[in-house]
Amino acid sequence: MKLFCFGYGQVAKAFISNLLKKKVKLNLTISTRKNSSYKKLDNFEFENLEFNENFYDKKILEKLNLYDYILISVPPINSKDLFLEHLSNHIAENSKIKSILYLSSTSVYGDHNGAWVNEDSETKPKTKMGLDRLKIENKWLEFSKRKKLPIQIFRLAGIYSENNNAVTRLQNKKSFLVIKENHFFSRIHVKDISEILYLSLVDIKENQIYNLADNKPASSVEITSFASKLIGCELPTKVNFEDLEDGVLKDFYRDSKKVSNEKIKKELNYNFIYPSYKEGLSH
What residues contact 50, with CB distance under 8 A and at least 6 apart?
31, 32, 33, 34, 35, 36, 56, 57
- Specify if 253 maps to a domain: no
pLDDT value, residue 229: 96
Per the structure, the complete domain to which residue 15 belongs is given by: 2-161+187-213+260-272
- Contact present, 80 and 100 (Cβ < 8 Å): no
Indicate which CATH number applies to the domain containing 201. 3.40.50.720
pLDDT value, residue 177: 87
Q: How many distinct helices (H) and strands (E) make up the chain?
A: 10, 14
- Specify if 85 maps to a domain: yes
Distance from chain centroid for Cα 85: 20
- Contact present, 160 and 11 (Cβ < 8 Å): no
- Specify if 25 maps to a domain: yes
116: which strand partners? 258
Q: What is the largest CA-CA distance in the chain?
A: 59
pLDDT in tens, 177-212: 888 989 999 999 999 999 999 999 988 888 899 999
| DSSP, res 194 | H
- Specify if 109 maps to a domain: yes
For the CA atoms of 46, 51, 55, 57, what is the dihedral angle to 10 degrees? Answer: 30
- Specify if 248 maps to a domain: no
pTM: 0.95
| Cα separation values, 71 from 5, 8, 96, 152, 213, Å | 5, 10, 15, 10, 19
d(C-alpha 205, C-alpha 183), whole Å: 33
- Specify if 68 maps to a domain: yes
pLDDT value, residue 132: 97
Residue 204, CB half-sphere, CA atoms under 13 Å: how many? 14
pLDDT value, residue 166: 94
- For the chain, which ranges sit under pLDDT 70? none
pLDDT value, residue 174: 76
Q: Three-class SS string for 78-136?
A: CCECHHHHHCHHHCCCCCCCCEEEEEEEHHHHECCCCCEECCCCCCECCCHHHHHHHHH
Query: What phi and psi values does residue 57 have, to the nearest 5 degrees?
Result: -70, 120
- Specify if 155 maps to a domain: yes
Q: What is the number of structural domains in the chain?
A: 1
- Specify if 224 maps to a domain: no
